[in-house]
Amino acid sequence: MRKDYWLDVCRCVMDIPESGVYGKGELDFMRLFQGVVARVSDGSCGAAAFFMGIVKRRGRGEVGVEKLFMESYEEHANKALKRICDEVMAEYRLKFVGIWHLVGMLEVGEPVVLVAAAGENRDEVFRGLRTAVERYKREPALFKKEVYIDGTEKWLEGA
Amino acid sequence: MKIQTKYYAVLRERLGKTSEEFELPQGSTVTDFLEKLRQVYAGVLGDLFEGGGLKTGFALALNGESLDKSLWASTRLKDGDVVVILPPIAGGLPEAGQPHAPLALILACVGLLHN
């Protein structure tokens, strides 16, 4: 890898938005990815891992998913996401944890959430990332409706 | 006293509104609020109530924080409080043999130093 790669990355550092829910179009996941990498490239971290949730075709209905509608009670969801990040950082002694979730109507194949974890050792980073992912699916007030290719739709229940 | 509520997902769709304000007597509890809601919307939301509370899967938040069901009867509301019924929160389905499988993929693991 080019020696100046990380310098290039650092040049495009942006202020990383706080963990929380954002409307579609308010976040650029690739810029976010670069921002996190730049944030954790100060020598304090030995590993960073990322999880991206993507809208998939196979849902819980009889026919394929056309779109996914995500809705949130933002006050609750934002508090919950920040709390998950803080608690996972403390539990696994990580340097950075972030969760950014989109709301609105999303197409199949579109990313809907990005979770990032970084720390000194990969074992803690992987375990912390997994915990953050499982918790974001259960705790924040995020509600999901699948819209199917035949025009029917269904609010989903249960993690 | 005035208690605010907001409606999300299936509640918002059934009621055709996103928020509402209810007048409750001083000293009312969260359970009293739910009873009020059940009375007002018995026809539209009746199936969401069960045994004096909410159907399994539904939860409740007070001023933006989840409130455990065991506290609903003892939690007294104050003027201006915001009580929100939370429809079931839908994460990904567990996959066979993997109780907590992630929905999508691990995008990248970047080895930065000696990890």
Task: Give contacts of B 47-76 with A, CB under 8 A.
Answer: 57, 61, 64-66
Q: Which of B14, B89, B95, B100 to mutate to test the interface with A (most CBs of A within 10 A)?
A: B89
A·B CB contacts under 8 A: 127
Decide: A35 and A16 in contact? Cβ < 8 Å: yes
At B99-115, the pLDDT tens digits run 433 333 344 445 554 55
Q: At what angle do helices A122-138 and A74-92 cross, to 10 degrees?
A: 160
ipTM value: 0.83
Residue B69 has pLDDT above 80, yes or no: yes
Q: Which of B4, B7, B55, B115 to mutate to test the interface with A (most CBs of A within 10 A)?
A: B115
- Chain A CB contacts of B10 below 8 Å: 155
Q: Residue A92: how many CB atoms within 10 A of its CB?
A: 21
Q: What is the rounded distance in angstroms from the CA atom of residue B103 to the CA atom of residue B67?
A: 28
| d(CA B94, nearest CA chain A) in Å | 8
- Chain B CB contacts of A43 below 8 Å: 113
- Is B53 part of a structural domain of the chain? yes
Give the number of domains in chain A: 1
Residue B85 has pLDDT above 50, yes or no: yes
Averaged pLDDT of chain B: 83
CB-based contacts of B78, cutoff 8 Å, min separation 6: B1
Helix (H) or strand (E) holding A47: strand A47-54
- Chain B CB contacts of A157 below 8 Å: 57, 87-88, 90
At A41-80, the pLDDT tens digits run 999 999 999 999 999 998 887 899 999 999 999 999 999 9
Decide: A84 and A129 in contact? Cβ < 8 Å: no
Encoded tokens for A18? 């706080």
Buried b (16+ CB within 10 A) or exposed e, A2-12: eeeeeeeeeee
Whole-prediction pTM: 0.85
- Is A107 part of a structural domain of the chain? yes
| d(CA A139, nearest CA chain B) in Å | 8
- Is B95 part of a structural domain of the chain? no
| d(CA A56, nearest CA chain B) in Å | 8
Give the number of domains in chain B: 1
Q: What is the rounded distance in angstroms from the CA atom of residue A134 to the CA atom of residue B92?
A: 9
Bridging pattern class, strands A47-54 and A111-119: antiparallel
Domain coverage including residue B31:
2-87
Looking at residue A141, which CATH number applies to its domain? 3.90.1170.40
pLDDT computed for residue A61 by the predictor: 78
| d(CA A85, nearest CA chain B) in Å | 16
B96 in contact with A, Cβ within 8 Å: no
- Is B109 part of a structural domain of the chain? no
- Is A156 part of a structural domain of the chain? no
Beta-sheet strands, E only, within chain B: 2-6, 19-23, 49-50, 53-54, 59-62, 65-66, 82-86, 105-111
- Is B46 part of a structural domain of the chain? yes
Residue A4 has pLDDT above 70, yes or no: no
Looking at residue B67, which CATH number applies to its domain? 3.10.20.30
Average pLDDT over residues A86-115: 97
Residue A94 has pLDDT above 90, yes or no: yes
Domain coverage including residue A60:
18-27+43-150
Average pLDDT over residues B18-43: 95
Q: Do A49 and B90 touch (CB under 8 A)?
A: no
- Chain B CB contacts of A159 below 8 Å: 89-92
Bridging pattern class, strands A65-72 and A96-107: antiparallel
- Is A2 part of a structural domain of the chain? no
At A126-143, the pLDDT tens digits run 999 999 999 999 999 999
> Which DSSP category does B46 fall into?
G
- Is B15 part of a structural domain of the chain? yes
At A13-52, the pLDDT tens digits run 568 999 999 999 899 999 999 999 999 999 999 999 999 9
